[in-house]
Amino acid sequence: MITGTCNLIFRGAGSQWQFGAAYYSILTIKLFLFLAMLLHQSFQTFKYAPEIAALSARSEPGIQSWPEPLLAHWKKWFLLLKINATLGPIVLLLGLGLSRS
């Protein structure tokens, strides 16, 4: 975030704040995906993690399989992890696109 802001300031100062349409398009998509990643991370941390911890504490130590509510929360948590793992490289590549546009 810091390097992106510095890049925007330095490029803006060098070009009198005249960016092309491609730059604004890529920047908009990049910021949208970054906010989506932030939202997913917040869900993982503040919504699902406390419920997983509480359900894990209530589980029997020697069980062979997880109870269904615990398994359902883990599946949601891992789905968000997979989405963020997919969006991360895309956002990185969009950042490279910004440096070239």
Does the structure show a pLDDT above 80 at 4? no
- Per-residue pLDDT of 16-47, as tens digits, reads 778 888 888 998 999 999 999 999 999 999 99
**Domain ranges within the chain, ordered by starting residue:** 2-100
Residues 6+ apart with CB under 8 A from 33: 87, 90, 91, 94
* Cα angle 52, 40, 9; round to 5: 145
Give residue 62's pLDDT band: very low, low, confident or very high (50, 70, 90).
confident
* Cα angle 64, 65, 68; round to 5: 150
* pLDDT score at 38: 94
